[in-house]
């Protein structure tokens, strides 16, 4: 999937005791009701944020991940995260709103009448 928006905030990299690293970025989507979306970049992907500045327009390739967690009391909770794996700067300031969308292209739409040449018109209305 992809998200497009304006970089609102880029956080510093975090390193944990295990050696795991992550860095987060918030983008503001460009739609009727803009949404601040937090995106995590993990391990070797944190360097993708090095050349970005707040206020730039970007397109981000993302994966949505989910986790299940059972508390010590036995209660099950579910968590989601958005993980970035690609960032492109967008230089055109098109006014078209952009939302999360599948990364595959849609099939072309045909304008041909599928009933053209069908002389069998036995409908009662």
Q: What is the pLDDT of residues 44-57, one digit of tens each?
A: 999 999 999 999 99
Question: Domain for residue 103, yes or no?
Answer: no
pTM: 0.69
Q: How many domains does the chain divide into? A: 1
Question: Domain for residue 24, yes or no?
Answer: yes
Token pair, residue 93, equals 């300031």
Which CATH number characterizes residue 68's domain?
A: 2.40.50.140
Helix H, strand E, coil C: the string for the chain is CEEEEEEEEECCCEECCCCCEEEEEEEEECCCCCCEEEEEEEHHHHHHHCCCCCCCEEEEEEEEEEEEEECCCCCEEEEEEEEEEEEEECCCCCCCCCCCECCCCCCCCCCCCCCCCCCCCCCCC
Question: Domain for residue 59, yes or no?
Answer: yes
Question: Domain for residue 113, yes or no?
Answer: no
pLDDT band at 91 (very low <50, low <70, confident <90, very high): confident
Res 98 pLDDT > 50: no
Question: Domain for residue 125, yes or no?
Answer: no
15: domain range?
2-89
């Amino acid at each position: 999937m992809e998200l497009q928006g304006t970089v609102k905030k880029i956080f510093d990299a975090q390193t944990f005791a295990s050696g795991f690293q992550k860095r987060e970025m918030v983008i503001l989507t460009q739609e009727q009701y803009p949404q601040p979306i937090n995106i995590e970049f993990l391990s070797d992907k944190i360097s993708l944020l090095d050349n970005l500045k707040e206020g730039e327009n970007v397109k981000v390739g993302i994966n949505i991940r989910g986790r299940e967690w059972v508390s010590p009391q036995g209660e099950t909770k579910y968590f989601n995260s958005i993980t970035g794996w690609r960032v492109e700067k967008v230089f055109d300031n098109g006014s078209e709103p952009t939302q999360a969308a599948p990364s595959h292209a849609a099939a072309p739409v045909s304008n041909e009448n599928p009933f053209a040449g069908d002389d069998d018109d036995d409908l009662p209305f």
